[in-house]
Amino acid sequence: MTPVDDSARIAAFEARIAAGETIEPKDWMPERYRKQLVRMMSQHAHSEVVGMLPEGNWITRAPSLRRKISLLAKVQDEAGHGLYIYCGTETLGVDRDDLIGQLLAGTAKYSSIFNYPTLTWADMGAIGWLVDGAAIVNQTALAKASYGPYARAMIRICKEENFHKRQGYEIMATLAAGTSAQKEMAQDALNRWWWPSLMMFGPSDKDSPNSAELLRWKVKQKGNDELRQRFINLTVPQATAIGLTLPDPALRQNAESGDWITGPIDWAEFMQVISGNGPMNRERLAARNKAHDEGAWVRDAAEAYAAKHAARRVA
């Protein structure tokens, strides 16, 4: 078979991207663009779903009804985020069951951050403030991504993430202004979550194999380092405002740019976590598999219900 010459179509596609147009599911796109989106969006959807586990663990132990209601709503929102993004991924011609199968088999990546344990109630504060805070910085940029269904999903998700961040920061501020034991608990949570939250943005641009292509195609609007720096600059004053200290003796402000410069990030730890050897990788996958198996009856019932209605329509 003669190979198809796609050069004219690729040039037209890239001209549309350069002009700031949005690519929609029925538009022609290079196979590589489609594959990159499936990779990134499915990892993102998996992260939302696995991300329910560390916090779900604390719903029954929330210290008041108000906190319980907020946490319950937040965890439920994350399930919704997973749903929007899986639906977005399906517009690229993949089957959601296959993607979930990859997650359950341990062959798909999801965010490194969710492979750390939640040891105290203050971790609910640290996750909302730092993890959802980092997600907002990353996803506000993705809301302008060149692929329409992904960008549109980000708009609603970012609104919800704002509530998540606020409830987390409020938990931290309350603990930090409480008894010395409560303040210690908040500081300990910050100490454990700070560095992993910086790793959420991915490796430094020079070690990021996907960034150049994704930036060229405007899936990513900014590189990993720029977004990480933005998050650091936003978060340092927030820690100071509630009397907590970032666990980084090397942290200093660049007088000229105003940027807060951190000490070195432990990329060896990051590589361990994304290779499946983080503190909680095995537990997270086991919990997802258990939930999937125990939910089999719900999927069966939904299919039987759909089949019954389809049969009625035919009749």
Chain contacts with ligand ACO (rule: CB under 6 A):
39-40, 43-44, 47-48, 51, 109, 111-112, 135, 138, 199-203, 208-211, 214, 224, 274
Q: How far is the CB of 243 from ligand ACO (least distance, A)?
A: 26
Q: How far is the CB of 74 from ligand ACO (least distance, A)?
A: 10
Among candidates 78, 69, 57, which has minimal Cα distance to 131? 78
Q: Please write down the HEC assignment for all residues of the chain.
A: CCCCCCHHHHHHHHHHHHCCCCECCCCCCCHHHHHHHHHHHHHHHHHHHHCHHHHHCCHHHCCCHHHHHHHHHHHHHHHHHHHHHHHHHHCCCCCHHHHHHHHHHCCCCCCHHHHCCCCCCHHHHHHHHHHHHHHHHHHHHHCCCCEHHHHHHHHHHHHHHHHHHHHHHHHHHHHHCCCHHHHHHHHHHHHHHHHHHHHCCCCCHHHCCCHHHHHHCCCCCCCHHHHHHHHHHHHHHHHHHCCCCCCCCCCEECCCCCCEECCCCCHHHHHHHHHHHCCCHHHHHHHHHHHHHHCHHHHHHHHHHHHHHHHHHHC
Q: Measured from the CB atom, is 103 or 135 closer to ligand ACO?
A: 135
Q: Measured from the CB atom, is 141 or 184 closer to ligand ACO?
A: 141
Q: How far is the CB of 167 from ligand ACO (least distance, A)?
A: 14
Q: Measured from the CB atom, is 43 or 89 closer to ligand ACO?
A: 43
Q: How far is the CB of 212 from ligand ACO (least distance, A)?
A: 9
Q: Measured from the CB atom, is 211 or 262 closer to ligand ACO?
A: 211
Q: Measured from the CB atom, is 126 or 176 closer to ligand ACO?
A: 126
Q: Measured from the CB atom, is 51 or 125 closer to ligand ACO?
A: 51
Q: How far is the CB of 166 from ligand ACO (least distance, A)?
A: 15
Most distant CA atoms of the chain, gap in Å: 75
Q: Measured from the CB atom, is 6 or 213 closer to ligand ACO?
A: 213
Q: How far is the CB of 55 from ligand ACO (least distance, A)?
A: 10
Q: How far is the CB of 132 from ligand ACO (least distance, A)?
A: 6
